[in-house]
Amino acid sequence: MALRMSSLFLRTLREDPVDAEVPSHRLLVRAGYVRRAAPGIYSWLPLGYRVLRKIEAIVRQEMDAIGAQEVHFPALLPREPYEASNRWTEYGDSIFRLQDRKGADYLLGPTHEEMFTLLVKDLYSSYKDLPLSLYQIQTKYRDEPRPRAGILRGREFVMKDSYSFDISDEAFLKAYDAHRGAYIKIFDRLGFAYVIVAAMSGAMGGSASEEFLATAENGEDTYVRCTSCDYAANVEAVRVPVPERVPYDDAPAAHAEETPDTPTIQTLVGYLNEKYPRDDRAWAAGDTLKNVIVTLVHPDATRSPVAVGVPGDRDVDLKRLGAQVEPAEIEAFDEAAFAANPSLVKGYIGPGVLGEGNASGIRYLLDPRVVDGTRWVTGADRTGSHVLDLVAGRDFGGDGVIEAADVREGDPCPQCDEAGRGGTLETAPGIEMGHIFQLGRRFAEALDLRVLDENGKLVTVTMGSYGVGISRAVAAIVENSHDDLGIIWPREVSPADVHIVATGKDAAVYEAAARLTDQLEAAGLDVLYDDRVKVSPGVKFKDAELIGIPTIVVVGKGLVDGVVEVKDRATGERADVDIETAADHVVGVVRGS
Ligand code: ATP
Ligand code: MG
């Protein structure tokens, strides 16, 4: 196949689009791959659409290879199944809703668990029908609050989603492993650096859950990895190693002390060191227990406060907290909320009033480090006063444990900790490219997908759900592979194999370039041929760098000596090649031989 630039529907731009925040957005628009239609909504132009379809083809091959079968659902979906799973409500403002002429509610599908579950229920009824894996490559709609970064986070985007159906958890694990293997092959072929991290399953429920993240400076996601073992996890999914309980038989009784003007951890620690110095060492923020209150907004719009107790040297990470309380959303605990809870004394809130059965009645969840026997300084629920020597398990307890404290570089690695080694964590940014997880029976139960087992008993089917961001991959590849001049496509997804640039006005040059184009095309390569006679060589070279096809062949001045220049876009290496053998040479470069 050959595309000729003289007629190709393409206009490259010299200027960056004003709204472009990240390189992939800037370059994909400038190089003429996509055009913005509305915020977070993009049209694909010929070159961009070719890349998108190449990625689809890779994903399709690897899904077919594990025996998953391709289907295609509508994007326009009825409300009822999403009502049955409660996601019509849970998704809140994140879905596009609409009504037909009769006033019936519809939505534009954000993901399709409900529809797949219902389809399988419709046609299957026995354990003999299972296992089954179905997938589709489809346009999804989510009304993202901050559509930014171009097609990295769109409101309309292309996703591959697959779903596995099994009779038991053991059988499910096979489907999960098969998908995991397929994803490794897919992401290896897409040609960018990635990591597999342990993840939370979010609104979906279930337990086994891993994400494939492209490692990228501009990634919106933060993950942590161990500096000495292979542990890697999404920040939301990091589990704090739980310390041993501490014996407290000899601990002194708790005592409240006056600590005027100490509403912050810093002022408190300063005051303690001045007025109540310790013998062994100075007081530190980690000796205090900080109690943070937030309001949870539930899917049915009801609100309830929750208190989180964390060591005072840490903050509550709202992303981590959010993942724990999903599907509820978090709102700040504002002045009106304080006014409605008079037992809470701002800056001096302590376990004395928190927890079910205490004055405020507010549910109180503690960081896992607050194990029995640990000793804390915390609010005495009176302005200007704190309690010292308050012992967990003796003087106070929570209504539960929550992983909501921030994770820091240098924190102990949970996997190393379990193995008795001392590895520590570091953080790095990434882009979520794929997600595989165990749905369990949530959707099968909600929509009553049951089959008869070997003994003729009805059992609920267990499911897995697996996504790949296809359109996001186009941008993630560019994030991973570009320079100041433009995009550098990995071979497997490049819109063409070779970019031939003919320069000057000499008819012989264009004849030679056209012949080379024909030869390469006949050899089965895809060629982008810059045959524009009225465009200067400088502009053509700039366009070639910007568009980013991995091999560039310049047919120009050298032709009088019988040579063309073959250039590697990634390394910048150039070689003069005899025009007679140029076609064979280029085929060899492209095929890697
Ligand atoms: P994120 O945390 O980035 O919002 P998600 O966890 O909501 O993503 P999933 O529901 O797991 O996403 O969707 C599967 C895949 O679809 C993701 O791994 C990602 O690659 C892609 N994806 C999700 N949202 C978008 C979006 N707004 N634009 C482009 N791709 C997306
Ligand atoms: Mg996800």
Tell me: the pLDDT tens digits for 233-287? 999 889 889 999 999 999 999 999 999 999 999 999 999 999 999 999 999 999 9
Expressed as residue numbers, the domain containing 559 is: 496-591
Residue 40 CB–ligand 1 contact under 6 Å: no
Phi/psi region, residue 524 (left: phi>0; alpha: psi -120 to 50; beta: rest), is: left
Pocket test for ligand 1, best of 320, 435, 436 (most atoms within 8 A of CB): 435
What's the 431 CA to ligand 2 centre distance in angstroms?
A: 10
Is the pLDDT reported for residue 205 higher than 70?
no
Which of the ligands is closest to the CA of residue 42? 1
Whole-number Å distance, alpha carbon 575 to ligand 1 midpoint, is: 43
Whether residue 410 lies inside any domain: the answer is: no
pLDDT above 90 as % of the chain:
90
Which residue type does 498 have? Answer: V
Atom of ligand 1 nearest to the CA of 142: 27
Bridge partners of 3, per DSSP, are: 528
Ligand 1 touching residue 153 (CB < 6 A)? yes
Residue 417 has pLDDT above 50, yes or no: yes
Amino acid in the structure at residue 463: M
The whole-number average pLDDT for the span 352-357 is: 95
Judge if the beta carbon of residue 467 lies within 6 A of ligand 1: yes
CA of 111 to the centre of ligand 1 (A): 10
CA 331 → CA 264, 301, 302, 320, 348, distances in Å?
Answer: 21, 12, 12, 14, 21
User: Which ligand does the CA of 40 lie closest to?
Assistant: 1
Q: How far is the CA of 181 from the centre of ligand 1 (A)?
A: 20
CATH number of the domain bearing residue 556: 3.40.50.800
Q: Are 331 and 395 in the same domain?
A: yes
Judge whether 105 lies within some domain.
Answer: yes
Provide the domain count of the chain.
3
Q: Per residue in 76-107, pLDDT tens?
A: 999 999 999 999 998 889 999 999 999 999 99
What are the pLDDT digits (tens) for 482-514? 999 999 999 999 999 999 999 999 999 999 999
pLDDT digits (tens, 9 = 90+) for 432-441: 999 999 999 9
Residue that is last in its domain, among 401, 421, 444: 401
User: Are both 472 and 522 inside the same structural domain?
Assistant: no
pLDDT in tens, 148-176: 789 999 999 999 999 999 999 999 999 99
Burial of 505 per CB tally in 10 Å (0-12, 13-18, 19+) = exposed
Q: Is the pLDDT of residue 399 over 70?
A: yes
What per-residue confidence (pLDDT) applies to 201?
A: 56
Going by alpha carbons, the residue nearest to atom 24 of ligand 1 is 153
Q: Is residue 298 part of a domain?
A: yes
Residue 583 in domain: yes
* Distance (Å) from CA 166 to ligand 1 centroid: 25
Give 211 Cα–ligand 2 centroid separation in angstroms: 7
Residues 526, 532, 537, 543: is their CA dihedral positive or negative?
negative
**Is residue 95 a part of any domain in this protein?**
yes
- Read off the pLDDT band of 364 (50, 70, 90): very high
Query: Is there a contact between 293 and 379 (Cβ–Cβ < 8 Å)?
Result: no
Ligand found nearest the CA of 466? 1
394 in any annotated domain: yes
525-557 pLDDT, tens digit each: 999 999 999 999 999 999 999 999 999 999 999
Check pocket membership of 111 for ligand 1, CB cut-off 6 A.
Answer: yes
* Euclidean distance between CA atoms 495 and 476, whole angstroms: 16
pLDDT band at 207 (very low <50, low <70, confident <90, very high): low
Q: What is the mean pLDDT of residues 557-562?
A: 96
What CATH number corresponds to the domain at position 195?
A: 3.30.930.10
146 in the same domain as 176: yes
* The predicted structure's pLDDT at residue 161: 98
pLDDT band for position 385 (50/70/90)? very high
Atom of ligand 1 nearest to the CA of 144: 27
206 pLDDT higher than 80: no
In ligand 1, which atom is closest to the CA atom of 202? 6
Q: Residue 468 CA: which ligand 1 atom is closest?
A: 15
Euclidean distance between CA atoms 220 and 243, whole angstroms: 31
> Domain check: are 100 and 184 in the same one?
yes
* % the chain with pLDDT above 70: 99
Q: Could you say which of 444, 479, 514 is where a domain stops?
A: 479
For the chain, give the mean pLDDT. 95
- For 591, other C-beta atoms within 10 Å of its C-beta total 12
Cβ neighbours around 404 below 10 Å, total: 27
Between the CA of residue 100 and those of 108, 486, 545, what are the distances in Å? 12, 45, 48
Residue 108 has pLDDT above 70, yes or no: yes
Q: Are 463 and 502 in the same domain?
A: no
Closest Cα to residue 513, out of 555, 478, 550? 555
- Give the closest residue to 71 by CA, choosing from 63, 83, 62, 79: 63
CA of 139 to the centre of ligand 1 (A): 12
- Strands (E) in 478-550, as ranges, are 498-502, 527-530
Read off the amino acid at residue 547.
I
Burial class (CB in 10 A: 0-12, 13-18, 19+), 129: middle
SS3 564: strand
**Element holding 111 (H helix, E strand):** none
Q: Using a 6 Å cutoff on CB, does residue 433 contact ligand 1?
A: yes
Distance 480 CA to ligand 1 centre (A): 18
Whether residues 40 and 188 share a domain: the answer is yes
One domain, residues 451 and 350: no
Same domain? For 362 and 456 the reply is no
pLDDT at 203: 43
CA of 431, closest atom in ligand 1? 3
Average pLDDT over residues 430-455: 95
273 & 395 share domain: yes
Q: Residue 495: CB within 6 Å of ligand 1?
A: no
Tell me how long the chain is: 593
Whether pLDDT at 402 is above 70: yes
Which of 414, 446, 479 is the C-terminal boundary of a domain? 479
Residue 389 has pLDDT above 70, yes or no: yes
Integer Cα distance of 583 and 564 in angstroms? 11
148 and 188 fall within a common domain: yes
* Rounded Cα gap, residues 338 and 23, in angstroms: 45
Residue 88: CB atoms within 10 Å: 19
Beta bridge partners of 431: 214
Instruction: Clarify whether residues 33 and 145 are in a common domain.
Output: yes
- DSSP three-state, residue 510: helix
pTM reported for the whole predicted model? 0.87
State the virtual CA torsion across 278, 281, 283, 285 in degrees, nearest 10: -160
Q: Are 442 and 205 in contact (CB under 8 A)?
A: yes
Which of these, 478, 490, 435, lies nearest to 191 by C-alpha position? 490
In a domain, 242, yes or no: no
User: Is residue 512 a part of any domain in this protein?
Assistant: yes
User: What separation in Å is there between the alpha carbon of 219 and the centre of ligand 1?
Assistant: 13
Q: Do 280 and 397 sit in the same domain of this protein?
A: yes
